[in-house]
Structure 1
Amino acid sequence: MSDTPEPAGAGTDDTAFDRLGRVAAEVFGWHELRPGQAEAMRQVLRGRDTLVVMPTGAGKSAVYQVPAVLLSGPTVVVSPLLALQRDQVEGLSGSDAPDAVAVNSDQAAGETAEAWRAVREGDAEYLLLSPEQLAKDEVLERLARTRPSLFVVDEAQCVSSWGHDFRPDYLRLGHAVERLGRPTVLALTATAAPPVREEIVERLGMEDPARIVAGFDRPGLRLEVRRFRDDEEKRRAVVERAAREPKPGIVYTATRRETEEYAARLAELGLSAVPYHAGLRAAERSRAHDAFLDGESDVVVATSAFGMGIDKPDVRFVLHASVPGSPDAYYQEIGRAGRDGAPALAVLHYRPEDLGLRRFFSGGRPDPRVLADVAARIRRHGAPLSTARLRELTGLSANRLTATVNLLEEAGAVDTTDDGELVPAGDLRPHEAADRAVEVAEARRRMERSRLEMMRGYAEATGCRRRFLLGYFGEEYEPPCGNCDTCLAERAREEEGREEFGHLAQERGDRDEAPRPDAGRFRSGARVLHREWGEGLVMSEEEDRITVLFDTVGYRTLSLETVVGQGLLTLAEGAGD
């Protein structure tokens, strides 16, 4: 579905649709386009900025690959991982599509020079780059001379500071678009709740974008939660489940050490299990990645580093040995199971004490002294200051400097020129700029913690888990789903009740039909006002509770009885219009 109306005439553009269909079939061998794909391609071909939210495995890459063949000028694809760039280049080489090349830090100088030549002379249509490459002036200058027609941001959730995959270098992409002559912008993501979508549009400077949001539901994916009090009992359960389920599968852990420990325990049972985490050497990660994709290993035991670009359709299970930091991360990770359409399993092994570890990971406070120092240096310089020169002056690492500058920019103390250089903004003194930047960081921490509480809500939900998860992403769902542990347990209880006490089932049905208090007032999508937390958006509703995303404190799940009984919420002005 699209949540932005198309301009007049867009829906009757049969010629464009036919051209896209021919290219898809003749060049890529795709004889049928999915509705979301076709609509997004048509918008891109018309030159309209487009945000596409589609589940993992739904064919997001096709949205840029097909129209790029019909556009004049190269297509720039911003991709965060070298392995993902490699997979996309190899995937395109296996079709009749135009050539694709990558420019990254792993290449030899000769390979990089050849890639630029191919793009410059029109021998390559697709150029894949990391956001770090686009932070370099010389890269932007060379790229601007090629006059790209399309600027694609893959894994666009990395743009959003509210997103679970946030990467500071992604925040500079809006400036890169301007320096490249403002080509059409296409943002692609599998996991973007409504606030993340809004920030993607804002950060990339997208102009009147089409927003194409496919359904998030994966009906073939069975959702389960198993709760534990003892950590060792939980570990045994994870190993036993991974051992007995059909292979291949993925086990996600919270720490690097746990990947090694679980992999070793699975290997003792005769399974081919490999660990994967960011602390391994690049060659080791590459071997583990390739062995899994090639079917040589039964199970990968990984941290969240094993994520983007895992394109393996026959994964039969994803087990979480610990609670992820957010429903966004959880949904993306379980989305790697069952992409072939066959039944698959997602099990969260939940111990409430594990939430404390996640809170520790989400900690960390920016240093006000560093913020004030950077703000002062930019202001004292008296002229636009390059990030390279600022690194020399401050001695900060590239990542830390980028994060610091981004906070100061969000605080209104720093601006970036069209040339990518830094200038002071407003009249804040350095310590005031630092204080305001700390407030921005604290707001981000509150959002992170509220998302973690949403994971607690999912784990402890007594109703349909599918409804809870989809509601987080702003999608309504009418239970029962028939494929989560709570719905299956409820159905079993009802069947047992009908057999033994037929009248109880009828009473249950009568209770289900009973109106809940003020059910119609706080529907999904309504803007509401809380006495303490201010304005928010109702994300989902269950029988006895609603979940609201508040502008200041993030996600909160509220008892409907308490909300109504104490008058905690009112509809915001205009919400009922």
Structure 2
Amino acid sequence: MLGFTEFRPGQEEAMKAVAAGRDTLAVLPSGAGKSAVYTVLGALLEGPVLIVSPLIALQRDQVQRLTELGEEAVGQAAVLNSGLSGSDQQAVLDGLRDGTVRFCFLAPEQLAKPEVVDTIREAGPALFVVDEAHCVSAWGHDFRPDYLRLGGVVEQLGHPTVLALTATAAPPVRTEILERLEMRDPEVVVAGFDRPEIRLEVEQHPDAHGKHAAVLDRVSELSERGSGILYSATRRSTEEFAQALAGRGLRARAYHAGLRKAEREEVQREFMADELDVVVATTAFGMGIDKPGTRFVVHAEPADSVDSYYQEIGRAGRDGEPAVAVLVYRQEDLGIRRFFAAGAPAEEELQQVAGLVRAGVQAGMDGVDVRSLREETGRAATPLVRDLNLLEQAGAVVLDDEGTASPAPDAPPPGAAAAAARELAEHHVRVDESRIEMMRGYAETTGCRRQFLLGYFGEQLDEPCGNCDNCSAGLSTGQHTADADHPFPVDAAVEHAEWGPGVVMRHEDDRVVVLFEAVGYKTLALQAVLDHDLLRVRTGG
């Protein structure tokens, strides 16, 4: 009826778990049919399906696909977003209430509106889906405050069954998704991360000029195979690369958040319609882009983490045909990522915000909003929202549906609250920096790059892949991931005297990579660990 003839890896397991009423996190590879999970379930469950989706363009694409299946098969699908008129938004809400709208796609910001939440609660949703669920995590993905409050929304709705979907989630990100969404007794389905059709390559260049020329050369060469994406770190560089590629005769356009909305939509439309050879983009481009014929993804700088890198290269080769992912690398480029990762707010700033929230309520206000804080502090909205989120995570303030802050019950004094929030921020910075170091590890490894990537996500590939530059050059050797005699087996829980508990993620020659709860990823020399008794395997709970 729905046109599906067989299950792809992880689909059936996720469907069965949700059909049984289990909250479920499904980590399925790009192109593995994540949307099919809630489409099939929507035809089986009683009540509407709510899908939280981060981008309006992605919402429209998903609605179009459901519409093509036919209302007789799946029911009516609709979007609820800021691009609709007031009357159109009301029509969608009325459709939810009377049962004519079966699937409703909306951004998390819509769920900050009490009238929207009230209507959805009255409709009795059968399933609450969070698409691109890694956005929930504060570990360096696309971070939007309203994602952090989705767990509270689920409870306001009476906790319908929750289905979180993502293509990329390393173990710490999975843990944070489960916690943020307040999932109960969750089923975690992780299908294989491997995308063997994507060839992995890294080109190293010692100087900026040589690297810039190499980026243009590789994109020009790869464009002969079909269309692709070139990622660059800044808006300015996307414009410069696009202009240079156009000068070489390629149909190239830049895409970044600084462009007008209409222009961004035009670039995306042209790319999907095969009217462009290459889109030169910041990471603002690509989430939810499903263009099966994308033949290459080139990075002019390292991504901020292996998580982001794998998400971005996963936009190539979705038709299962050969594709190429190239990182053009210069060690100094990691400095850009460290700059973006650094910046825990000063304790004095946090204390000021906590103090203003407390003082406002003591003065008889119902709460303090960001506009009032901007007037009092002279600071921009973005850092103030970040400070409020940190104070909320530290248990010092409570944010209502409209982002207005008031002191939490039994909130500590502003000084103590600031210290706790600062410690939390420093933890995030340490983890982000460790993830950047893992990106360096990928760029500089002499082993099989696919083994490195899969090991990062906790999946082991026992033999070199044969489809990366290191394998082709004869450099790769087995990573000994299946060596049962290793003193620190993969997935073993370990303890470090300084960094505390962690989990062994992978082995590479004479090194062991451990993910520590407190400091993130660390690569340790195995002999030094053994000589100085730095790690011990934990047993029991």
- Counterparts of 1:228-307 in structure 2, within 5 Å, are 228-245=205-222, 246-307=225-286
Q: Structure 1 residue 40 and structure 2 residue 48: aligned? A: no
Q: Structure 1 residue 358 and structure 2 residue 354: aligned? A: no
Partner of 2:42: 68
Q: CA–CA distance in 2 between the matches of 1:341 and 1:399?
A: 41
Q: CA–CA distance in 2 between the matches of 1:253 and 1:277?
A: 10
Partner of 2:518: 552
Q: CA–CA distance in 2 between the matches of 1:334 and 1:212?
A: 22
Q: CA–CA distance in 2 between the matches of 1:517 and 1:70?
A: 45
Q: CA–CA distance in 2 between the matches of 1:69 and 1:58?
A: 20
Deviations 1:259-279 (A, max 9, x none): 111111111111101111111
What is the CA-CA distance between 1:479 and the residue it aligns to? 2.2
What SS class does the counterpart of residue 94 from structure 1 fall into?
A: helix
Q: CA–CA distance in 2 between the matches of 1:514 and 1:58?
A: 29
Partner of 2:138: 161
Partner of 1:449: 433
What SS class does the counterpart of residue 490 from structure 1 fall into?
A: coil
Judged with a 3 Å threshold, the aligned counterparts in structure 2 of structure 1 residues 330 and 283 are, in CA distance, closer, same or farther, namely: same
What SS class does the counterpart of residue 165 from structure 2 fall into?
A: strand
Judged with a 3 Å threshold, the aligned counterparts in structure 2 of structure 1 residues 401 and 144 are, in CA distance, closer, same or farther, namely: farther
Q: CA–CA distance in 2 between the matches of 1:117 and 1:513?
A: 57
Judged with a 3 Å threshold, the aligned counterparts in structure 2 of structure 1 residues 420 and 268 are, in CA distance, closer, same or farther, namely: closer
Partner of 1:223: 200
- Counterparts of 1:173-572 in structure 2, within 5 Å, are 173-245=150-222, 246-380=225-359, 381=361, 389-395=368-374, 399-415=382-398, 422-490=406-474, 520-572=486-538
Judged with a 3 Å threshold, the aligned counterparts in structure 2 of structure 1 residues 296 and 427 are, in CA distance, closer, same or farther, namely: closer
Q: CA–CA distance in 2 between the matches of 1:454 and 1:260?
A: 29
* 8 Å CA contact 2:297, 2:316 repeated in 1: yes
Q: CA–CA distance in 1 between the matches of 2:155 and 2:411?
A: 26
- Which stretch has the larger CA shift, 154-163 or 174-183? 154-163
Deviations 1:39-70 (A, max 9, x none): 11121122110000011111111111111122
- Which stretch has the larger CA shift, 393-402 or 371-380? 393-402
What is the CA-CA distance between 1:426 and the residue it aligns to? 3.0
Amino acid at match of 1:291: E
- Which stretch has the larger CA shift, 110-119 or 333-342? 110-119
What is the CA-CA distance between 1:515 and the residue it aligns to? 13
Q: Give the counterpart of 2:53 among 74, 79, 99.
A: 79
What is the CA-CA distance between 1:232 and the residue it aligns to? 1.2
Identical-residue share of aligned pairs (%): 53
Deviations 1:102-128 (A, max 9, x none): 111121222212222222221111111
What is the CA-CA distance between 1:297 and the residue it aligns to? 0.4
Give the number of equivalent residue pairs.
530
Unpaired runs of 5+ residues, structure 2, are none
Q: CA–CA distance in 2 between the matches of 1:352 and 1:295?
A: 34
Judged with a 3 Å threshold, the aligned counterparts in structure 2 of structure 1 residues 135 and 515 are, in CA distance, closer, same or farther, namely: closer
* 8 Å CA contact 2:168, 2:310 repeated in 1: yes
TM-score by length of 1: 0.87
Judged with a 3 Å threshold, the aligned counterparts in structure 2 of structure 1 residues 386 and 520 are, in CA distance, closer, same or farther, namely: farther
What SS class does the counterpart of residue 10 from structure 2 fall into?
A: helix
What is the CA-CA distance between 1:385 and the residue it aligns to? 7.8
Query: CA RMSD for the aligned pairs?
Result: 2.5
* 8 Å CA contact 1:249, 1:316 repeated in 2: yes
Amino acid at match of 1:357: I
Judged with a 3 Å threshold, the aligned counterparts in structure 2 of structure 1 residues 407 and 336 are, in CA distance, closer, same or farther, namely: same
* 8 Å CA contact 1:517, 1:560 repeated in 2: no
- Counterparts of 1:74-153 in structure 2, within 5 Å, are 74-96=48-70, 97-153=74-130
- Which stretch has the larger CA shift, 367-376 or 477-486? 367-376
Judged with a 3 Å threshold, the aligned counterparts in structure 2 of structure 1 residues 154 and 330 are, in CA distance, closer, same or farther, namely: same
What is the CA-CA distance between 1:415 and the residue it aligns to? 4.2
Amino acid at match of 1:326: S
What is the CA-CA distance between 1:185 and the residue it aligns to? 0.5
Partner of 1:8: none
Judged with a 3 Å threshold, the aligned counterparts in structure 2 of structure 1 residues 452 and 152 are, in CA distance, closer, same or farther, namely: same
Deviations 1:158-198 (A, max 9, x none): 11112423322211101100111111111111111001111
Q: Give the counterpart of 1:57 among 27, 31, 34.
A: 31
- Which stretch has the larger CA shift, 351-360 or 157-166? 157-166
Deviations 1:6-35 (A, max 9, x none): xxxxxxxxxxxxxxxxxxxx0x21121224
TM-score by length of 2: 0.93
* 8 Å CA contact 1:221, 1:343 repeated in 2: yes
Amino acid at match of 2:214: A
Judged with a 3 Å threshold, the aligned counterparts in structure 2 of structure 1 residues 534 and 92 are, in CA distance, closer, same or farther, namely: same
Judged with a 3 Å threshold, the aligned counterparts in structure 2 of structure 1 residues 398 and 356 are, in CA distance, closer, same or farther, namely: closer
What is the CA-CA distance between 1:417 and the residue it aligns to? 7.6
* 8 Å CA contact 2:201, 2:468 repeated in 1: yes
Higher-Rg structure is 1
Q: CA–CA distance in 2 between the matches of 1:129 and 1:574?
A: 43
Amino acid at match of 2:207: D
Judged with a 3 Å threshold, the aligned counterparts in structure 2 of structure 1 residues 127 and 218 are, in CA distance, closer, same or farther, namely: same
Judged with a 3 Å threshold, the aligned counterparts in structure 2 of structure 1 residues 523 and 224 are, in CA distance, closer, same or farther, namely: same
Q: CA–CA distance in 1 between the matches of 2:57 and 2:156?
A: 27
Judged with a 3 Å threshold, the aligned counterparts in structure 2 of structure 1 residues 180 and 399 are, in CA distance, closer, same or farther, namely: farther
Judged with a 3 Å threshold, the aligned counterparts in structure 2 of structure 1 residues 417 and 114 are, in CA distance, closer, same or farther, namely: closer
* 8 Å CA contact 1:164, 1:326 repeated in 2: no
Q: CA–CA distance in 1 between the matches of 2:106 and 2:484?
A: 52
* 8 Å CA contact 1:169, 1:402 repeated in 2: no
Deviations 1:416-450 (A, max 9, x none): 68999754243411121012101111110111110
What SS class does the counterpart of residue 69 from structure 2 fall into?
A: coil
Judged with a 3 Å threshold, the aligned counterparts in structure 2 of structure 1 residues 419 and 280 are, in CA distance, closer, same or farther, namely: closer
Amino acid at match of 1:455: M
Amino acid at match of 1:437: A
Amino acid at match of 1:467: Q
Unpaired runs of 5+ residues, structure 1, are 1-25, 494-508
What SS class does the counterpart of residue 331 from structure 2 fall into?
A: coil
Judged with a 3 Å threshold, the aligned counterparts in structure 2 of structure 1 residues 558 and 72 are, in CA distance, closer, same or farther, namely: same
Deviations 1:324-349 (A, max 9, x none): 11000000000011010001101111
* 8 Å CA contact 1:77, 1:154 repeated in 2: yes
Judged with a 3 Å threshold, the aligned counterparts in structure 2 of structure 1 residues 417 and 296 are, in CA distance, closer, same or farther, namely: closer
Amino acid at match of 1:79: S
